[in-house]
Amino acid sequence: MAGKSLTQTQVIQKLSELEELPKKQVKSFLDNLSQLAYKEAKNGFVFPGLGKLVLVQRKARTGRNPATGETIKIPAKKVVKFKVSKTAKDSILGEAPVKKPAAKKAAPAKKKIAKK
């Protein structure tokens, strides 16, 4: 890893400077955005430009206790996942978006004319 991640205070400070807004207003906005995401995550919540919070149902499965090696049953459960958008992924990884070449249409077959 390159460096330490930004703290909440640092994020608020940077956004406050970029948008020329008071820190209290920026903090309030971020708090409200978080609360909205918590309420709407069960239906899927999109953070524009970043990704989407989704609720996923995991199936029951068997696993192993790492301490004893004993097999155990892991019950089904709901989990929250964050799916990163392709744009964010490409931007963070520094990869240029790959454009697929357009499919070429086959030229119509030429009819052979029988000579007499």
pLDDT digit string, tens, across residues 38-94: 998 888 899 988 999 999 999 999 999 999 999 999 999 999 999 999 999 998 898
| SS3 sequence of the chain | CCCCCCCHHHHHHHHHHHHCCCHHHHHHHHHHHHHHHHHHHHHCEEECCCEEEEEEEECCEEEECCCCCCEEEECCEEEEEEEECHHHHHHHHCCCCCCCCCCCCCCCCCCCCCCC
pLDDT at 94: 87
CB atoms inside a 10 Å sphere around CB 45: 19
Q: How many CB atoms lie within 10 A of CB 109?
A: 6
Enumerate the domain spans of the chain: 7-41, 44-94
Q: What is the pLDDT of residues 5-27, one digit of tens each?
A: 989 999 999 999 999 999 999 99
- At residue 42, the pLDDT reads 87
CB 80 within 8 A of CB 70: no
Q: Inform me whether the pLDDT recorded for 3 exceeds 80.
A: no
pLDDT in the model for residue 23: 94
Instruction: State residue 41's pLDDT score.
Output: 87
pLDDT at position 13 is 94
CATH architecture of 44-94: Irregular (4.10)
